Amino acid sequence: MFPQCLAPSRTCTRCATGARSGVRWASLGHCRWTVARVLGTGHWQTATQPTVGCNLTLESVGYLLRLVVSVYLVLSCLDVALTRYHRWNFVASEPKPQAKHVALVTGASSGLGKEMAYQLAEKGHSLLLAARSEAVLERIQTEIEQVHGTVKVSIYACDLTSEAGIDSLVTFAAKNGLVVDILVNCAGFSITKDFVGLSQTQVTQIMALDMAAVAQLTHAFVPQMVVRGVGRVLNMGSMAGSIVSPSAALYSSAKAFVITFSQGLDYELRGTGVTVTCFCPGPVHTNFGSTADCDDAIYMNIPGTACAPKVCAALALQAMFRGQTLAYDTWFAYISAVLGACVSPRRLLAAICAVGMNAPSKIWQMLRC
């Protein structure tokens, strides 16, 4: 219980000074009681003079820290319990390789999309591969069918930055009787440059490919998955989606959309047998880095932080089949995302990311006005 000296307009019967003088204290700030005593973890003290403020003890700080940790653990347990409840039919609804049932992979001509296409074929899934280069897709189709004779590979060359390209892909799948059980939205585009330095075409391409195509393809195929009671969606996010990314402001904003879109949609689909996974890799050395002009960036060359494309693709597919809502490829990507989303001061984080997104020769340029 709180001591009498904490109550407004009451004579303190325990404080020696108050007892002798009969002074009526009005607040905690006039009495030398420690917070630890109030919390039941310490002892009270007396003073010959009224003091302003309260004495924070190590015991009280420790109590508060334990309280915060306890609350966090309770919330984490509730989160796990709710996830398991929503995933009660998860194992039974995992997509199995079947004739005419395919995994649609966009951006399959190179990088992580190509790696995931090969690894899905190894698992026995037939494929529908989409990218702009038909010649590259034909070569990949031949390679996969030669190695995995039972796997059927369909290809379709299209430009997903246009609504017509997206509609034509959906129509192609329907006309050929292809049932999409797995959707991998891997196509993406970026360029490391200040937003004002981007052309209007580049702005349109980033927004169309990194956001609109993801939403439109998901909207085209997920309702069919829900009807069948089985399906997996894998959206490729990025570590950049959880942090402030000067020199890639539009790209990181697009990936932030992918992250929140995936999490919200995954919850909406609870209990349907369909799950949505957003996989957020950190640095990965693929041709995407060359296209985005970030191969020389500091963050791409920190020892021990980059993930090999094959490993990254395997981790992404593993997270998808496990039904994880959000996953990362390395400790560096995970810690960066947590710090960026919850901890780091915003302006300092922006400065750090601005330096990291560029070559060492541009450090001073990124910090000065």
Residue with more model confidence, 355 or 110? 110
Over residues 361-369, mean pLDDT: 62
- Is 72 marked active-site? no
Q: Concatenated DSSP letters for 270-298?
A: TTTTEEEEEEE---B-SHHHHHTT-TTSG
User: What is the separation, in whole angstroms, between the first and last Cα of the chain?
Assistant: 56
Q: What is the pLDDT of residue 123?
A: 94
Strands (E), 3-62: 10-11, 24-25
Q: What is the pLDDT of residue 44?
A: 45
Is pLDDT at 129 greater than 70 in this prediction?
A: yes
Over residues 107-113, mean pLDDT: 93
| Residue type at position 78 | L
Over residues 173-184, mean pLDDT: 97
| Whole-number Å distance between alpha carbons of 271 and 89 | 7
List the one residue out of 150, 167, 148, 102 whose CA is nearest residue 129. 102
Q: Give pLDDT tens digits for 295-317.
A: 566 556 566 667 889 999 999 99
Q: Give pLDDT tens digits for 94-105.
A: 788 888 899 999
pLDDT band at 156 (very low <50, low <70, confident <90, very high): very high
Q: Write down the residue that tokens 């280069």 correspond to.
A: 133
Distance of CA 107 to the CA centre of its chain: 20
Q: Give pLDDT tens digits for 26-37.
A: 444 444 444 444
Contact 269, 276 (CB under 8 A): yes
- Is 251 marked active-site? yes
Catalytic residue among 114, 255, 299, 328: 255
Q: Write down the residue that tokens 């591969």 correspond to.
A: 129
Contact 76, 44 (CB under 8 A): no
Q: Give pLDDT tens digits for 313-347.
A: 999 999 999 999 999 988 888 888 887 776 656 66
Q: What is the pLDDT of residue 282?
A: 84
Total Cβ atoms within 10 A of residue 25: 21
Contact 192, 293 (CB under 8 A): yes
Lowest mean pLDDT among 185-189, 200-204, 362-366: 362-366
Q: What is the pLDDT of residue 190?
A: 84
Task: Indicate the CATH number of 95-367 among 3.40.50.720, 3.40.640.10, 1.10.150.120, 3.40.190.10.
Answer: 3.40.50.720
Q: What is the pLDDT of residue 84?
A: 76
Q: Give pLDDT tens digits for 221-272.
A: 999 999 999 999 999 999 888 888 788 889 999 999 999 999 999 999 988 8
pTM recorded for the entire structure = 0.75
Q: What is the pLDDT of residue 284?
A: 83
Q: What is the pLDDT of residue 358?
A: 62
| Residue type at position 113 | G
Count Cβ neighbours within 10 Å for each residue of 156-193 and write b for 16 or more, e otherwise.
bbbbbbeeebbebbbebbeeeebbbbbbbbbbbbbbbb
Average pLDDT of the chain is 80
Q: What is the pLDDT of residue 149?
A: 84
Percent of residues, the chain, with pLDDT higher than 90: 48
Alpha-helical (H) ranges within 176-239 are 200-207, 213-228
Work out the angle at residue 138's Cα, subtended by the Cα atoms of residues 132 and 143, and round it to the nearest 5 degrees: 130
Catalytic residue among 118, 251, 299, 328: 251
Domain boundaries, the chain: 4-57, 95-367
C-beta pairs of 334-337 under 8 Å, 24+ apart in sequence: 336/239, 336/242, 336/243, 336/282, 337/239, 337/242, 337/243, 337/280
Over residues 197-217, mean pLDDT: 95
For 285, phi and psi rounded to 5 degrees? Answer: -85, 95
Q: What is the pLDDT of residue 339?
A: 78
Is pLDDT at 202 greater than 90 in this prediction?
A: yes
Over residues 162-189, mean pLDDT: 96
Is pLDDT at 17 greater than 80 in this prediction?
A: no
Contact 217, 183 (CB under 8 A): yes
Is pLDDT at 50 greater than 70 in this prediction?
A: no
Q: What is the pLDDT of residue 298?
A: 58
3-state secondary structure at position 235: strand
Ranked by mean pLDDT, which of 11-25, 258-272, 348-362 comes out on top?
258-272
Lowest mean pLDDT among 67-71, 117-121, 216-220, 294-298: 294-298
